[in-house]
Amino acid sequence: MVRTGANSYLQWDFDNPASAFGTPYGTPSWKKFGLQQKITGFSISNSKKTLSELYSIKPTDYAYGKQTGSISVDFVLSSPWILGLLFGAPTSVSSSGSASASHTYNAVANDSTVRTSTLEMGFQGQTANLTRKLSGCTLNSLSISAAVDDMVNASADFSYAKEQQPTATFSASSATDLMNFPYTFAHGLFKWKGNTSDSLTTQTEIQSMDISFSQNSELLFGMNSHFAVGAYRQLFDITGKFQLSLKDKSFITNIMEQIKQDSGTTLETRSHAQLELFFTNKGTGNGLKTIKITCDGIGIDSHSTSGLEPNEPVFEDISWQIKNAVIVAQTATTNAEPKGS
């Protein structure tokens, strides 16, 4: 009998920062990444070296160096907690009565520390089960995208330090985070302002948007081990793009003024733009969640206009990079960011 992903589960939790690198909590608080999870890539390299000797055309032995692994996951965004793997623990948590709590993440806080996690995958086999656990997982990048008539989709790329010895246990997912409602494009807002003297204005003609966060993390290796002993992050890079339907000259004029030409030869940088993305999952009760992403210091990388055709809208595509982002995740309870104990 052929087994499929319908016979498997995937869950994760933050690692314990008070313990050695890549150590999970004794009692994890397992979470799903989101709805419609799927693993799109999973590999491991043992850095094998082949040994050979004179007077032989065959390998004589093998030596192994550092072990590195990667895993990629696609999912529909329905919970904000993966943000904590990119930006670290919230810089602030504030409650509003007994009904909600706001968790604020600063995307480019001056901290090279990488927050790690443990991933667990279970597979229910026909004659024997399999559970695989990955330790010291660092989230290298997270991409979030949405478009008309779609949900908010996400892709996460991880490196991991070590795979634990597989076991034959299978207890199905024990993730408890409520994820019945996804964030959707129809329940989103896109706000833009061209310079500091403007105010944020909702742009209803947005057709699609993408934003990618990359912390360019690297694993650190040491002596007396095949496995990583730590991790650090490098230059934090945040890029994105969006498409809108043109209705008049106002938005294009604003984009053009982001970099204005002076004396026909010198490009003079103008005050940088700001945008705000807001998504809600329209959940009810404890399932209600919202995410607001405020992007400052936008630099326009490129913009292009679709061709002109009879009976077809005219679209403008804008690509950009930003200096800083602040993310506020609102939950319907005063619970802190869920993690093990």
Which residues touch 254 (CB under 8 Å, ≥6 apart)? 192, 194, 273
Which residues touch 263 (CB under 8 Å, ≥6 apart)? none
8 Å CB contact between 259 and 270? yes
Summarised one tens digit per residue, pLDDT across range 96-147 is 554 567 888 887 666 677 899 999 988 887 778 888 899 999 999 999 999 9
Which residues touch 190 (CB under 8 Å, ≥6 apart)? 202, 203, 206, 209, 242, 275, 276, 277
Predicted confidence at residue 234, as pLDDT, reads 85
- Which class for 248: exposed (0-12), middle (13-18), buried (19 or more C-beta within 10 A)? exposed
Please give the share of the chain, as a percent, with pLDDT higher than 70: 86
Q: Which residue has the higher pLDDT, 255 or 303?
A: 303
Least confident of 46-55, 85-94, 262-271: 262-271
If one counts every other C-beta atom within 10 angstroms of the C-beta of residue 170, the result is: 16
> What is the average pLDDT across 45-60?
92
Summarised one tens digit per residue, pLDDT across range 137-193 is 999 999 999 999 999 999 999 999 998 877 777 666 666 665 668 899 999 999 998
Residue 263 has pLDDT above 50, yes or no: no
> What is the average pLDDT across 195-208?
84
CA dihedral 86, 87, 89, 93 (to 10 degrees): -130
Predicted confidence at residue 172, as pLDDT, reads 66
DSSP secondary structure of 27-71: S---B-SSEEEEEEEEEEE--EEEE--TT-SS--EEEE---EEEE
State the chain's mean pLDDT as an integer.
Answer: 84
Residue 257 has pLDDT above 80, yes or no: no
Alpha-helical (H) ranges within the chain are 83-87, 250-258
> What is the average pLDDT across 202-207?
91
Q: Spell out a b/e string for 36-67, using b for 16 or more CB atoms within 10 Å of the CB, else e.
A: ebeeeebeeeeeeeeeeeeeeeeeeeeeeeeb
As given in the structure block, the two tokens for residue 58 are: 């065959």
Q: Which of 239, 237, 250, 213 is nearest to 318 (CA)?
A: 239
pLDDT band at 36 (very low <50, low <70, confident <90, very high): very high
As given in the structure block, the two tokens for residue 330 are: 């609102």
128: alpha, beta or left, given left = phi > 0 and alpha = psi -120 to 50? beta
Least confident of 124-133, 207-216, 250-259, 279-288: 250-259
pLDDT band at 336 (very low <50, low <70, confident <90, very high): low
Q: Which of 182, 186, 177, 119 is nearest to 153 (CA)?
A: 182
Summarised one tens digit per residue, pLDDT across range 66-82 is 999 999 999 999 888 89
Intra-chain end-to-end CA distance of the chain, in Å: 39
Summarised one tens digit per residue, pLDDT across range 209-235 is 999 999 888 999 999 998 999 998 888
> What is the average pLDDT across 196-203?
81
Q: Which of 203, 209, 320 is nearest to 258 (CA)?
A: 320
Predicted confidence at residue 236, as pLDDT, reads 86
